[in-house]
């Protein structure tokens, strides 16, 4: 008997609990650390009270029109219009459809729970998650990593600046212009504040902006007023932004493109023999000095270029003299160099280390667009602005500079890869690949630039090889053919451009 009593008691408790639990949905709000009970219409919680929902989730009283059985809920700046006996919900005039009608009871509107929560999640509360089994609604803070957008119109293009909380891998940002006249930007791992983005004032070639949050990516879409002739996407780190330039045709466009092409033509190559004078560089066990080896390779390379091409060759040094790093950059820039090749020999305490490698001299791809633009202004000056100091970036400058920088990086990478490829065809030495390092030598150079470590003077075999004129000639030829291939690639691009 006692046992049965206990069982009965437990049953009663269970019944009591479940009926008590089914009277509401528990709302956990981690934004303000509060918990509330949301009124529901039936024990299955298929409908929720709109009035009560507004009390719990919004700070503003809803607008209620009892006669027309309509209600407006205010989620910060977003208005959500609902009415009973319809399946439609208007979020800032955008129509959402629910599979079930909303119901009216005692002057309140009851909304189909799951469909309405889904609409909230899509629009105003992306951090919302609902567990129908537990009748539990969680409101979490969503840390948007794409927080704002600015659109600026310049004379020959529109600049979109997207404010972010982090850097995105380059491969995670994709963009394209669709035939339907929209420009799409997709960011993998992006969490976009869609409400904020959609409110951005449109300008220039951008007629409309929308943003969509997908499970693993954020997409921004821009409806274009007219065709664009090109676009570029860049990231900067301070402030963290993604800058997109949408270029529109300008007057005398053909002239400018011609001028631009001329500017890009590979007509001057700057050859930089490392070290020199009091700076001997690395020294081999047999006394071979880096400064002598690299000067000889540089001269051999220069001779090939002068003999076999119409490329103008500029040397940072042709003698055994000391040239500070800053001066090397200056020489390169002042001579309108279109490529900078710095030639070196390697050294390592480990005498077995051997092989050749090519470094990208730029301090990385994450260059701030603004910073690089300042750097580029000296080189890329638009005619009508000449003589004017740029305190602020004009559209053209930003566009040209960003374009230039993206080309430098890509081109430096291409050139480095070609050099490694051509050297490995000719040298019986390990290909150590393309590497990146923040060499000071060319910070400030406005052209594709690489630094080649032709071999290890610390390795006895390589020292012996580097001492041979025939071996140095092979190195010079490898670099020469890489430059020729690079030029062909680049000219092809310019023609297609």
d(CA 365, CA 405): 9
Smallest distance, Zn ion to C-beta of residue 366, A: 26
Smallest distance, Zn ion to C-beta of residue 266, A: 25
Smallest distance, Zn ion to C-beta of residue 241, A: 37
Q: What are phi and psi of 22, to 5 degrees?
A: -80, 0
344 binds Zn ion (CB under 5 A): yes
Q: Which residues contact 284 (CB under 8 A, 6 or more apart)?
A: 457, 458, 460, 463, 466
Cross-sheet strand order for the sheet of 24-29:
34-39, 24-29, 136-139, 128-131
Candidates 112, 281, 284, 355; binder of Zn ion (CB under 5 A) is 281
Closer residue to Zn ion, CB minimum distance, 344 or 375: 344
Single out the segment in contact with Zn ion by CB under 5 A; choices: 322-330, 339-347, 428-436, 437-445: 339-347
The SS3 assignment for 44 reads coil
The CA angle 368-374-377, to the nearest 5 degrees, is 130
284 binds Zn ion (CB under 5 A): no
Site string for Zn ion, 401-440 (x = CB under 5 A): ----------------------------------------
Residues 368, 236 contacting (CB under 8 angstroms): yes
Neighbours of 239 (CB within 10 A): 10
Smallest distance, Zn ion to C-beta of residue 451, A: 8
Closer residue to Zn ion, CB minimum distance, 112 or 281: 281
Closer residue to Zn ion, CB minimum distance, 274 or 276: 274
Smallest distance, Zn ion to C-beta of residue 363, A: 18
- Within 240-279, the residues that bind Zn ion by CB under 5 A are 274
- Give residue number: closest CB to Zn ion: 344
Residues 103, 85 contacting (CB under 8 angstroms): yes
Residue in this structure with the two tokens 């899509």, named with its chain if needed:
122
Residue 115 burial by CB count (10 A; 0-12/13-18/19+): exposed, middle or buried? middle
Closer residue to Zn ion, CB minimum distance, 344 or 487: 344
Please give the size of the binding site for Zn ion, defined by CB under 5 A: 3
Residue 171 per-residue DSSP state: G
Closer residue to Zn ion, CB minimum distance, 168 or 359: 359
Closer residue to Zn ion, CB minimum distance, 213 or 347: 347
Residues 104, 70 contacting (CB under 8 angstroms): no
Closer residue to Zn ion, CB minimum distance, 291 or 375: 291
Smallest distance, Zn ion to C-beta of residue 274, A: 4
| Closest CA relative to residue 322, chosen from 295, 358, 362, 299 | 295
- Which residues contact Zn ion (rule: CB under 5 A)? 274, 281, 344
């Amino acid at each position: 008997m006692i046992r049965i009593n206990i069982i009965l008691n437990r049953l009663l408790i269970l019944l009591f609990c479940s009926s008590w639990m089914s009277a509401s949905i528990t709302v956990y709000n981690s934004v303000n650390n509060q918990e509330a009970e949301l009124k529901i219409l039936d024990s299955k919680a298929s409908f929720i009270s709109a009035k009560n929902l507004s009390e719990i989730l919004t700070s503003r009283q809803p607008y209620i029109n009892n006669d027309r059985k309509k209600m407006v809920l205010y989620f910060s700046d977003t208005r959500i219009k609902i009415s009973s006996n319809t399946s439609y919900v208007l979020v800032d005039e955008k129509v959402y459809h629910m599979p079930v009608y909303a119901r009216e009871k005692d002057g309140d509107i009851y909304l189909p729970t799951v469909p309405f929560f889904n609409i909230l999640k899509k629009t105003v509360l992306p951090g919302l998650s609902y567990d129908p089994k537990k009748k539990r609604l969680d409101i979490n803070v969503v840390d948007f990593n794409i927080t704002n957008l600015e659109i600026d119109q310049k004379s020959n293009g529109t600049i979109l600046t997207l404010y972010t909380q982090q850097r995105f891998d380059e491969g995670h940002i994709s963009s394209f212009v669709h035939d339907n006249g929209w420009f799409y930007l997709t960011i993998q791992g992006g969490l976009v504040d869609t409400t904020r983005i959609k409110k951005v004032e449109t300008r220039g070639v951008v007629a409309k902006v929308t943003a969509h949050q997908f499970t693993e990516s954020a997409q921004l879409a821009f409806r274009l007023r007219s065709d664009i002739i090109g676009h570029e996407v860049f990231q900067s780190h301070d402030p963290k932004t993604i800058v997109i330039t949408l270029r529109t045709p300008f007057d005398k466009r053909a002239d400018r493109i011609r001028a631009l092409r001329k500017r890009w033509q590979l007509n001057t190559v700057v050859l930089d023999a490392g070290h020199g004078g009091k700076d001997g560089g690395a020294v081999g066990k047999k006394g071979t000095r880096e400064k002598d080896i690299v000067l000889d390779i540089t001269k051999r390379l220069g001779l090939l270029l002068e003999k076999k091409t119409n490329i103008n060759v500029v040397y940072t040094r042709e003698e055994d003299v000391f040239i500070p790093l800053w001066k090397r950059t200056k020489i390169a820039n002042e001579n309108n160099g279109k490529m900078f090749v710095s030639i070196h020999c390697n050294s390592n305490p480990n005498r077995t280390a051997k092989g050749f490698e090519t470094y990208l001299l730029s301090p990385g791809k994450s260059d701030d667009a603004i910073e690089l633009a300042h750097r580029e202004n000296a080189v890329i000056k638009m005619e009508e602005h000449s003589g004017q100091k740029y305190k602020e970036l004009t559209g053209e400058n930003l566009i040209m500079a960003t374009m230039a920088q993206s080309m430098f990086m890509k081109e430096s990478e291409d050139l480095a890869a070609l050099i490694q490829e051509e050297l490995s065809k000719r040298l019986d030495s390990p290909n150590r690949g393309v590497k990146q390092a923040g060499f000071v030598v060319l910070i400030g150079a406005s052209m594709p630039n690489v630094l080649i470590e032709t071999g290890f003077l610390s390795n006895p075999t390589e020292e012996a090889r580097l001492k041979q004129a025939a071996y140095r000639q092979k190195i010079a030829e490898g670099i020469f053919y890489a430059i020729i291939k690079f030029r062909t690639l680049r000219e092809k691009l310019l023609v297609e451009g």
